[in-house]
Amino acid sequence: MLARDGRAATRSPHHTPRAKNVIFLFMEGGPSQVDLFDPKPELTRLDGQPLPPSLREGLRFAFIKPTAKVWASRRPFQRHGQSGIEVSDWLPQLARRADELCVVRGMFSEQFNHHPGQLLLHCGSPLVGRPSMGSWLLYGLGSESESLPGFVVLQSGPRGGSSSTGLFASGFLPSEFQGVPFASGGEPIAYLNRPAGVDTAEQRARLDLIRGLNEQRLAELGDSEINARIAAYELAFRMQSAAPELLDLSKESAATLSSYGADREPTRQFGTNCLLARRMVERGVRFVLLSHASWDDHGSLVSGHQKNCETTDLPCAALLDDLKQRGLLDETLVVWGGEFGRTPLAQTLSPGEQSALGRDHHPDAFTIWLAGGGVRPGSVVGRTDDLGMKVVEDRVHVHDLHATVLHCLGIDHKRLTWRHQGRDFRLTDVAGNVIHKMLA
């Protein structure tokens, strides 16, 4: 699995790929599809009324009851581009790029609590200990970057993005396939500089000695994790030269920095991460996870979602433009979405205060979008009912999303397996179908 220099070796895909890399814009906490991408005029007619009894059967919510009142979105939607995709006015910059998007309104999941839902979205299982999508891709295809990790995690938001390493862990795969988080504040990579008084030759000699001892131990025990340790040391050495150049944005034009919002608030942190993601895929990084927290607006959804949209809308649009202008969008698959959506029903944390209304978790119907390598631009897949409670046409499970993403990268999801505890595991578990309506 490792090249002679200790990095994850590249491997051939199962079929001709449309994409080489993935940038996953993870909106942690669950954005509200009915306020962003899935307009529901019927909610306006029923606004403030209890959900009709005929629609309550089988509903499960985390904190509210099916008798909660209907709450219509206060956001106007308009059609955009030649595709006519409807997007709310909270996302004006993405709306102008509607013809680049494959909007999947038919997403659904069984998990209505955050951590199990996040694990399912990232690892294909709500159980802790499974490899993440980035790890599966790194295992399946290897890395084209010799001096940077093949799977990088960037975080932003009040909590710095998801704090759970399980979302970017390698699980039972060898640990050289796990994601490498860059710090969201201060020094992005700890210990990047060599100790004072130690030059390159001396450090190389030290590492050669350590490598020799590790290889001796590997020969004695045959433990694959020793290989991962060797790879980590070698990668860290190469990163001391490559990472400073990656992180140095001084050579980016003022216009580029401004387009991402990397030069001002509130877009500075997320915009910088989007710009870094573009720079990473340019340098061969296979999978970049950008985690932005938090969309979990049980109360004060209007102010919470407005703030998150103001933070993320411009950088996401700039990322698509920049990738396209540089000829990278066709080979980079961009995925945007959270672990589930929000209910069309209101949640009241402060009784009587309309401004404090929020929405509960809703896995039965939510929206993600994709752009770039392999997906059909300017398309909508899936339809929800008149209130946005359930998917009624072209249902897309998280396993189907994973199967389709892997297909875009040239991987047959049924053949990407790892033997563990007596059986073959895969990202899509024992399910998943490629959704051909999503493909170009």
Q: Tell me the pLDDT tens digit for each residue of 123-172.
A: 999 999 999 999 999 999 999 988 899 999 999 987 654 556 789 999 99
Tokens 């039972």 belong to residue:
172
179 assigned to some structural domain: no
**Nearest-10 Cα torsion for 114, 378, 391, 364:** 0
Residue 204 lies in a domain: no
The answer to the question of residue 123 being in a domain is yes
**Cis geometry, peptide bond prior to residue 17 (ω within 30 degrees of 0):** no
Query: What CATH code is carried by the domain that includes residue 324?
Result: 3.40.720
DSSP β-ladder status, 151-156 and 287-292: parallel
* Residue 11 placed within a domain: no
Domain presence at residue 192 = no
Q: Is the CA virtual torsion 270, 276, 282, 285 positive or negative? A: negative
In tens, the pLDDT along 372-413 reads 999 999 999 999 999 999 999 999 999 999 999 999 999 999
Give CA 243 to chain center in angstroms. Answer: 22
386 close to 70: Cβ distance less than 8 angstroms: no
DSSP codes, 342-367: EEEEEEESSTT-GGGEEEEEE-SSEE
Could you report the per-residue pLDDT of 213-257, keeping only the tens digit for each?
A: 888 888 888 787 887 788 777 777 777 777 888 999 999 999 999
State the pLDDT at residue 185: 67
Per the domain annotation, does 1 fall within a domain? no
Radius of gyration of the chain from Cα atoms?
Answer: 22
Supply the range of the domain harboring residue 113.
21-157+260-331+343-370+386-413+426-434
Residue 206 neighbours by CB under 8 Å, 6+ apart? none
Query: Is 111 inside any structural domain?
Result: yes
Alpha-carbon separation of residue 69 from 1, 53, 353 (angstroms): 55, 12, 14
Asked, for residue 173, whether it belongs to a domain, the answer is no
Q: Please report which confidence band the pLDDT of residue 201 belongs to, taking 50, 70 and 90 as the band edges.
A: confident
Pairing of strands 357-362, 341-348: antiparallel
Find the distance separating the first CA and the last CA of the chain, reported in whole Å: 32
Tally of structural domains, the chain: 1
